[in-house]
Amino acid sequence: MVNFNQNNHSILLDDDQWTINQLTRAGGGGEVDTQPKELITISNVTVPTDVHLTLMNKGIVPDLYFGEREMEYRWIALSNWQFVKTFEIVTEQHLKWFKDSIERIDLVCHGVDTISSIYLNDQLIGTTDNMFRTFRFNIKGHLQSGTNTIRFDFTNPSSYCEKKASENGYEIPLWEYPHGIHHRNFIRKCGCHFGWDWGGCYCPMGIYKSVLIEFFPKAVPKIESIMIKQQHHTKPSTAATTTTTVTTPRHSSQSSSTNLLLNLERYPTNKNVSLLFDFEIYSDQQQQENNDENENQLKIIISLIDSKEKNNSTSSSSSSSSSIATFNLPKLHQYKTLIKNIKVDIENGRLWWPNGHGEQALYKIEFHLNNMYVAERTVGLRTVSVDTTDGAFTIMVNGAKIFAKGADWIPADNFLNRITRDKYNHLLTSARDANMNCLRVWGGGIYESDDFYDICDRLGILIWQDFMFACCLYPSNKEFLDNVRKEVRDQVLRLDHHASLALWCGNNENEQALNVWKPSKDNPPRYIVDYNRLYIDTIMDELAQLSTSFFWPSSPSNGVNSWGDTNDQTRGDTHYWEVWHSNKPFTQYLKAKSRFLSEFGFQSLPRFQALKATLAGGDDQLNITSPEMEYRQRSPTPGNIGLLQHTALHFRVPTSFEHLCYTTQVLQAISIKTGCEHWRRMSPYCQGTLYWQLNDIWVGPSWSSIEYDRLKWKALQYFAKKFYAPTLLSIVENEQSKRMEVWVTNDAPKESFQAIIYLSVWDVVLGKVTKQIKQLVYCKAHSNHMIMDFDRQDFIPDSKKLNRQFIYIELEKEIENENQKERDSNQQDIDEKDNQIIQHGKQRISPLIDNTYFFKEYKEFNLQKPVITIKDLVKSDGCDDKYHLTLVSSEIALFVWIDRSGDQHVGGEFSDNAFHLFKDQPYTITYYSNYNNQSQQNQHHHQSTILTSNDFKIISLYDTYQNK
């Protein structure tokens, strides 16, 4: 018998007592029919889950990410399936209570993927056709005493989409991808389940979120929805209702300088804030007849979440001292009453800021109706808007301009129930640790789980939230639009209160696509009308009824009803794909002058070890043009050949496939670094870079900076940690004057500082500095300016040495004193004694604020053979999983990559990687063997012994082209 929770009047049906039945057989999809001859039945299934994942977990099919099993087991996606469960809910003891006390009983399905008919005791109670909605069905008349049977009969997405497309009166175009399933635009399901240009096509089916039975007792009102809005006051709040005071002291500083005061005004830490609550309350006829004015009491408890508990991502947070506001509600109407603008004031509230701009203060809000707990929300006190004045696209938080530094996010797995909170935490913490403050949840995936947004709130990561429409046009009939409107309502009610949610966007690239496909170009009025019906008349309209959040119609776009070139670099956001898809060198990024880059990317291969464990054909397939590698590449233009061409343009061709994997990751990192540094130098004209993409959905060539396997950081993720750092030091050649420019971009909101810039010319053959200068500079908080320019010939007069000499710059903060006035910069040559110290004795410690500039392609440099050793390996005091490694090289070594040797499943990350080592100059980095506390890494760590230098392997660029 399932357990009845009388406190919240519900029964959760999530358990391991479900059965999955295959209802129909389908073609295999591969050269070999892997489908069993008999229809499949699986018992003791744990829900939530999907069919593919259950078949793998039960050992009925092997790992479907291995080799070409995606096609060999396509029959799973082309079959129809059934989920069924029997349960006892009503005993004689319960029966009288149900009849006398319950007004309504609902079956609540929070996530069904996707097309299903639901039966209770063989009676059809409803259907589902949208995996992004919560479905409710009144089942009071269908429940029976004793045994009940519930079943979900699933129709496979392929046949459903094909039927809907054939019924439509005209073609609705879309982009499709290799090995995919067609017509995904006719179903409200995760778009990339049908395949994309970075992942496989599996089209899973199942119950991927909780299913429960909810009871509505007679004469007991129930809160069905909560919306929260904020009013921020520049003067003390004058509330007409109860005031909540959280006794949190205002942050202060001992400094009284003008600069600091101005920065505190721009980045305040505390403010008086009013929270406005809108409620939908359900009540039955008996409640409506019996209740009087002020009979129902609403209690709101607000408390600041303790920072230690907030940082514990594995459990719900506890809170510090709480404040309570109590309200008597007006007379309730039958069924639904909308109660608006219940106001609670927070005096001197702690503000929430994005990562790098302040703290992430969070408040827990509990709601009690008639002394019964009904819900809770976690909020951050902040304002978020987007300034689009004169073509700008600037995210504003608490009135301050934020340069968005981040990436695009895709689903972390095709099989959604494999995405654990630990996995979210690892990926999102990796984003935070790379100094990111914004992620774009891309429209071809899913509205992510509550865990995802909770962690983003805690880490200070702003979310650009696409609605789930991508790379195609969609139907605009009433049935489809009504379905979408309900989807919008469900998701906005679920997510809009999150501190991290910065804006909602209608779709990914669909406005742009109107001018791409032949049907829409031949008949613009038809498709533009359809487009506006969906995104403006439905999505934007429904959002506006529920929220004051900013809406952007598409990405890229110029704005609502601002038709034109969607990639107009003078306004809105742009997707810049001239480098990868047009097969141009990464220096093309320097020609782009966009206001906000919401997509741009450069491919790389995963680690060699990850590919070796994934390709079924063994060593024979470990080749960039092998059949399995071509199969894994889902972006045929320019595809794997493009990876080779780009690599050969900049590097000597690697002598092994393992080294090619490494080299493509280095090239990817250099490419995105070039763009991001350029656009940060363009601030405030450009106010954001979100590169494509942060994470992966499987093992294969892609644009990600974090791999699917072990969630390992690629070189790009390490580079992002530097080019997204609060203080960026960069060097570039001015395309007009041809002079070299050194820039300091300082996003730190309150940190002005004085520093010394060291500029050195290193010779890879001699292994030493041939010239160096230093310059004293003063960097204001939240500033961006050129601090030095020079003629290249002043430093490298002999052009024949450009293929052996390069520039290294480093910023060393000297005095961090905000009272100091800006000093006149001075420049001087360093004396001979200092030069000797820098060449032979300087200890470099990660993290550094530094950069390099190479005048020639890396393939033109005649590097000397470096011998790289780990000079010291010291375990950090009091920290079992933290080691300090000091590396030293006998020659200049470029893009030094260090990793754990041996077992490919060993986790951990470093404080820096893909770095340069200078001759005889030690460099100390930190290794975190248990990075992000993933459970598997924990298990390995506790079984491991003390690490030695033999537990690490090191390569550099020189190694990639040497025949061994």
For 245-273, what is each residue's pLDDT tens digit? Answer: 333 333 332 222 223 233 445 678 899 99
Look at residue 417 and tell me whether its pLDDT is greater than 50. yes
835-847: average pLDDT:
57
Q: What is the pLDDT of residue 9?
A: 80
Residues 302 and 325: beta-carbon distance below 8 Å: yes
What SS3 class is residue 529? helix
* Phi, psi angle pair for 205, to nearest 5°: -130, 150
Q: What is the pLDDT of residue 3?
A: 59
Domain 868-959 class, CATH top level: mainly beta
The owner of tokens 């490298």 is 796
Cis peptide bond upstream of 173, omega within 30: no
Lowest-pLDDT range, 419-428, 715-724, 844-853?
Answer: 844-853
Kindly report, residue by residue over 823-840, the tens digit of the pLDDT.
333 333 333 333 333 443
Kindly report, residue by residue over 467-513, the tens digit of the pLDDT.
999 999 999 999 999 999 999 999 999 999 999 999 999 999 999 99
Q: How many CB atoms lie within 10 A of CB 285?
A: 12
* 729-815+845-858 fold: Immunoglobulin-like (2.60.40)
929-961 core/surface letters (b: 16 or more CB in 10 A; e: else): bbbbbbeebeebbeeeeebeeebbebbbbbbbb
Q: What is the pLDDT of residue 322?
A: 80
Q: What is the pLDDT of residue 711?
A: 95
Environment class of 922 (CB within 10 Å of its CB; exposed 0-12, middle 13-18, buried 19+): middle
Q: What is the pLDDT of residue 940?
A: 45
CA distance 619 to 615: 9
Look at residue 27 and tell me whether its pLDDT is greater than 80. no
Q: What is the pLDDT of residue 837?
A: 32
CA distance 381 to 275: 9
Look at residue 935 and tell me whether its pLDDT is greater than 80. no
Which one, of 68, 72, 97, 89, lies nearest residue 12 by Cα?
89
* 404-724 fold: TIM Barrel (3.20.20)
Q: What is the pLDDT of residue 226?
A: 96
CA distance 544 to 558: 19
Ordered by start, the domain boundaries in the chain are 10-215, 221-234+269-286+296-307+320-382, 404-724, 729-815+845-858, 868-959
Residues 343 and 298: beta-carbon distance below 8 Å: no
Kindly report, residue by residue over 161-218, the tens digit of the pLDDT.
999 999 999 999 999 999 999 999 999 999 999 999 999 999 999 999 999 999 988 8
352-358: average pLDDT:
97
Q: What is the pLDDT of residue 101?
A: 82
Residues 960 and 894: beta-carbon distance below 8 Å: no
One-letter amino acid at 218 equals K
pLDDT: which is higher, 242 or 544: 544
Q: What is the pLDDT of residue 188?
A: 98
909 conformational bin, left if phi > 0, alpha if psi -120 to 50, beta if neither: beta
CA distance 848 to 837: 18
Look at residue 794 and tell me whether its pLDDT is greater than 90. yes
Q: What is the pLDDT of residue 93?
A: 63
318-331: average pLDDT:
78
The owner of tokens 């070999």 is 32
Look at residue 309 and tell me whether its pLDDT is greater than 70. no
Four-CA torsion 242, 248, 251, 252, nearest 10 degrees: 100
Look at residue 780 and tell me whether its pLDDT is greater than 50. yes
One-letter amino acid at 189 equals K
676-700: average pLDDT:
98
Q: What is the pLDDT of residue 217?
A: 87
Average pLDDT, the chain: 89
Q: What is the CATH number of domain 221-234+269-286+296-307+320-382?
A: 2.60.40.10
pLDDT level of residue 92 (50, 70, 90 thresholds)? low
Look at residue 611 and tell me whether its pLDDT is greater than 60. yes
Q: What is the pLDDT of residue 635?
A: 94
Q: What is the CATH number of domain 10-215?
A: 2.60.120.260
Considering the chain, what percentage of its residues have pLDDT values greater than 90?
79
CA distance 771 to 757: 14
Q: What is the pLDDT of residue 312?
A: 59
Lowest-pLDDT range, 209-223, 428-442, 677-691, 730-744?
Answer: 209-223
The distance between the two most distant Cα atoms of the chain, rounded to a whole number of Å, is 97
Output the CA–CA distances (angstroms, integers) from residue 786 to 715, 777, 779, in the order listed: 27, 10, 10
Lateral strand order in the sheet of 783-790: 727-733, 740-746, 783-790
337-361: average pLDDT:
95
Q: What is the pLDDT of residue 907?
A: 79
Alpha helices, DSSP H only, in 248-396?
258-266, 285-290, 307-310
Environment class of 763 (CB within 10 Å of its CB; exposed 0-12, middle 13-18, buried 19+): middle
* DSSP structure string for 347-389: EEEEBB--TTSS-B--EEEEEEETTEEEEEEEE-B--EEEE-G
On the question of a common fold for 729-815+845-858 and 868-959, the answer reads yes
End-to-end CA distance of the chain: 67
Q: What is the pTM of this model?
A: 0.93
CA distance 79 to 154: 9
Lowest-pLDDT range, 147-156, 215-224, 812-821, 845-854?
Answer: 812-821
Four-CA torsion 32, 34, 36, 40, nearest 10 degrees: -150
Cα 830 off chain centre by: 45
Q: What is the pLDDT of residue 315?
A: 42
CA distance 674 to 679: 9
Q: What is the pLDDT of residue 294?
A: 59
Q: What is the pLDDT of residue 943?
A: 47
